[in-house]
Amino acid sequence: MDNVIRRRTLGARLGRAMLYAVLLLAALFYLLPLAVMLITSVKPLAEITPGTLLSLPREPTLVPWVKAWGEACTGMRCEGIGVYFFNSIAIVVPAVLISTAIGALNGYALTKWRFKGSELLFALMLFGCFIPFQVVLLPMAQTLGWLGLSSSRAGLILVHVIFGIAFTTLFFRNFYVAVPTELVSAAKLDGAGFFRIFWRILLPVSAPIIVVSVIWQFTQIWNDFLFGVAFSAHNTQPVTVALNNLVNTSTGAREYNVDMAAAMIAALPTLIVYVLAGKYFVRGLTAGSVKG
Amino acid sequence: MSLSSSAARPTAGSTARRSHSGLLQAWLPKLVLAPSAAISLFFVYGFMLWTFVLSLTNSRMLPSYEFVGFAQYARLMANDRWWVASTNLVVFGGLFVAICLALGLVLAILLDQRIRQEGALRTIYLYPMALSFIVTGVVWKWLLNPGLGIQAMVRSWGFENFRFDWLVDPDMAVYTLVIAAVWQASGFVMALFLAGLRGIDDSILKAAQLDGASLPRIYWRVVIPCLRPVVFSAVMILSHIAIKSFDLVVALTGGGPGYASDLPATFMYAHAFTRAQIGLGSASAMLMLGGVLAILIPYLYSELRSRRHG
């Protein structure tokens, strides 16, 4: 008896050790690319060819970061990706705010002011979440031309708002469905209007879903490449397009450390948001995919 | 409550105004939704129709409206590059979905064993999902670079004959896309499964344990069948990501060597925007839409039905 228990605990211990070993191995797999990116980005170019991916820099340097930010060539121009980083910010901030505001109002109207056909309308709008954007690229290019917004930041903002509201509406609609209707009905009986009820009853409880929506839209738009590459010119490109150009520019020797520094710069904003607000990020990802 | 103060003073003259504003109030929700409905109608449904119309024309550099029937689709079917792209999508999508599911499920089950530092591990597994596919592509291009990446590193450890040059091998390039995409998305699938596992009623597990079932058996016979809805959603989301994959291909392989690792999304972009084949590009976009619909319609159908019942 005693023996059996001892063997079991030994086996269990071995099992636990295996368990942790596998989990740590998996963690290494996910961390390795980030580690390599970071190490390479602070390595002098002279150390790259003789060294290996994981050899630590003997003389760490921030020169690649400085170069990536302000000097590296992206296509014809050599002004780094800093300019494009600010392009991305100028596109992302208004697009996120506008699409979130519209989504909040839509979700509110769809749940607290139901009318005949409102569910159908929601289903029709939801479809916009799923289409492959290739199917709208060509008409969009032409429409932006007609609007005089070709290759402009305003045009990109418009595109991101248009194709973002399907998601933000979904978020707010699913959130507001769970907000008790009694309070809203009482306020309606008291004669409070549409916007007043929204402002005084719904908005004060909306903080979590606003965070989810803002983070989702921020990540989506910051990471967008397709719209960015299709609808921008050299001076309005977002940072993802600039990064791709930088890496594929074939003038002179490949500066891998600068490439990695540029990739880090492009990745940092969404990474920081993820680290600071991971919980909300996950909630946005799983919204609509896991019921309840 | 201050809400009621303004409206709770009905005076003689206000009744008419009230019914007037009542009419406005009844219309306000619709007015608020109208722009979004119009946008959706024009920019989603209208554009889909528009692209379909373009796919029936002989448009090349500029849209023309000279109809040629389904000739572009016939050209597409006869186009070798399109077949390479479609076959690649099946290979890439199939492996990507399968590996993400397997890896995500295993990691979720292992993480669900009361692990210390679970939060930290979860954060590490999931962070790639926050990155742009362009960043992912750039990093993996560096890792998979035969001369300087993993191959060179392993060789420097003494394994002189180690070969890992898939990135430059036309037969293998598509698998590099799988590696990078799995790296990016499997943590997300793990999160989905973990949420599913946490949602399973403990009493079911306890009953199975009392019956003397072993742990692997409990997982195989009881837990995993409970996760079927999660598997379903994960497959939807992942295949959707696979069909839309564009950035990753552009950044990692550029569709190459040659067009060996093209996917429909890059095929469409190349023909519509750089090769002046708008008609052909539109036809390929319509087929992509068809692919998405084939996955989406059963999904939406079951979602809406369960919502109505639940």
pLDDT tens across B157-184, in order?
888 888 888 888 888 899 999 999 999 9
Q: Indicate the residue of B32, B128, B195 with minimum beta-carbon distance to A30.
A: B128
pTM: 0.87
What confidence score (pLDDT) does residue B10 get?
43
Same domain, B133 and B242: yes
A198 to chain B: closest CA residue: B29
Same domain, B151 and B260: yes
Same domain, B48 and B119: no
Q: pLDDT, tens digit, for every residue of B192-202? A: 898 888 888 77
Quick check: B51 and A139 CB within 8 A? Answer: yes
**B82-87, long-range: CB < 8 A, 24+ apart:** B82/B264, B82/B267, B82/B284, B84/B259, B84/B260, B84/B262, B85/B259, B85/B262, B85/B263, B85/B264, B85/B266, B85/B267, B86/B264
Same domain, B23 and B122: no
| Residues linked to residue A74 through DSSP beta bridges, in sequence order | A77
Mark the ranges of chain A whose per-residue pLDDT is less than 70: 1-8, 250-252, 286-292
- Show me where the domains of chain A are located: 1-31, 82-286
In our burial notation (b when 16+ CB lie closer than 10 A, e otherwise), range B272-310 reads bbeeebbbbbbbbbbbbbebbeebbeebbeebeeeeeee
Same domain, B50 and B186: no
Domain count, chain B: 2
Residue B67 belongs to some domain of the structure: no
Percent of chain B with pLDDT over 90: 36
Reported confidence tier of residue B68, pLDDT bands at 50, 70, 90 = confident
For residue B117, what are the domain limits?
Answer: 72-309
Same domain, B25 and B86: no
Residue B3 belongs to some domain of the structure: no
- Which stretch of A7-16, A228-237, B106-115, B252-261 has the lowest confidence by average pLDDT? A7-16
Same domain, B287 and B138: yes
Q: What is the ipTM of this complex?
A: 0.89
- Helix A256-286 and helix B173-198, axial crossing angle in degrees, nearest 10: 30
Residue B130 belongs to some domain of the structure: yes
Asked if the C-beta of A146 comes within 8 angstroms of chain B's C-beta atoms, the answer is no
What confidence score (pLDDT) does residue B308 get?
57
Quick check: B4 and A115 CB within 8 A? Answer: no
Quick check: B272 and A137 CB within 8 A? Answer: yes
Same domain, B140 and B34: no
Q: Indicate the residue of B51, B123, B153 with minimum beta-carbon distance to A278.
A: B123
Same domain, B43 and B114: no
Give A143 or B256, the one with higher predicted confidence. A143
Residue B32 belongs to some domain of the structure: yes
Same domain, B149 and B280: yes
Here the CATH number for the domain that contains residue B229 is 1.10.3720.10
Mean pLDDT confidence for B211-234: 83
Same domain, B49 and B138: no
**A82-286 homologous superfamily:** MetI-like (1.10.3720.10)
Q: How many CB atoms lie within 10 A of CB B73?
A: 18
Residue B33 belongs to some domain of the structure: yes
Residue B62 belongs to some domain of the structure: no
Report the mean per-residue pLDDT for chain B. Answer: 84
> In chain A, what residues touch B199 (CB-CB under 8 Å)?
292
B297 pLDDT higher than 90 = no
Token pair, residue B179, equals 């590696």
Same domain, B48 and B91: no
The one-character DSSP state at A200 is: I
